[in-house]
Structure 1
């Protein structure tokens, strides 16, 4: 039995497999998956606001209150962007982690402002956004 390493091979048999650029750590995989889910739900929450704004309880007493049709567009467009960034994170795009942090901060802000209209959905989305933000910020798989 020979202990020689075949020509062209630089890895030894005991070393763990290396991650490729397309494979993320557990945190980025979680973040990408959750961004796809959050983006889908954001878009789905925007559709009823566009079609029938009486689904939500409105309160004109808030300073940041505006037409629910506008909220529908905001959620629909934000949901599409969040889902696309989640897909880019899952595919291993280099820019996607920072874009993910940016869209999660935007999603946090939008859902905070949406609290008076649909508190349960907003609180759940804020909690998921915070978990995704933590996963993206604490990820060290790119060596930085």
Structure 2
């Protein structure tokens, strides 16, 4: 059994005294969870898109809003966005660097699209907006900065 010197931190302990070190599982776990959420949100967007393209009468408008797109146009928007979200989510799970930046940009775009989609499916649009906000937070979190001891 290997001996550790008093200056060597124990396995799993923060190395710089902060509550969460960059080498801990928090940063990696958030990124993996963001990738899974992008995959799920992408699959849901593909399903919304297919439904919007196949049947114009599935979604109905709930009120009079400024955003007036045809449901078929919304279907194509959600289908294309969903496919791209699935690709970026898979890239995040593989750990590619391009997927991190694309994930932030696409999650922001997805929030905007779902805000405009609110008149058609308000509950699912709000859920997708919440997923997008968490994805942006998880991908922008800088685990290298820790709180300094005061």
State the TM-score, normalizing by the size of structure 1: 0.78
Corresponding residue number in structure 2 for 1:92: 95
TM superposition shift of 1:61: 3.5
Q: State the alpha-carbon separation in 2 of the partners of residues 88 and 95 from structure 1.
A: 8
1:131 aligns with 2:128: no
Corresponding residue number in structure 2 for 1:9: none
Number of residues of Structure 1 aligned to a counterpart in Structure 2: 126
Q: State the alpha-carbon separation in 1 of the partners of residues 116 and 52 from structure 2.
A: 15
Q: Secondary structure of 2:66's partner? A: coil
Q: What CA RMSD, in Å, does the superposition of the two structures yield over aligned residues?
A: 2.5
Query: Is this contact kept in 2: 1:28–1:136, CA < 8 A?
Result: yes
Q: Aligned to 1:80, which of 60, 78, 83?
A: 83
Q: State the alpha-carbon separation in 1 of the partners of residues 137 and 117 from structure 2.
A: 22
Query: Is this contact kept in 1: 2:47–2:79, CA < 8 A?
Result: yes
Corresponding residue number in structure 1 for 2:110: 107
Cα deviation 1:8-53 (Å, max 9, x = unaligned): xxxx9x777xxxxxxx711110111111111000111111110111
Q: State the alpha-carbon separation in 1 of the partners of residues 41 and 94 from structure 2.
A: 17
Structure 1 residue ranges without an equivalent (≥5): 4-11, 17-23
State the TM-score, normalizing by the size of structure 2: 0.75
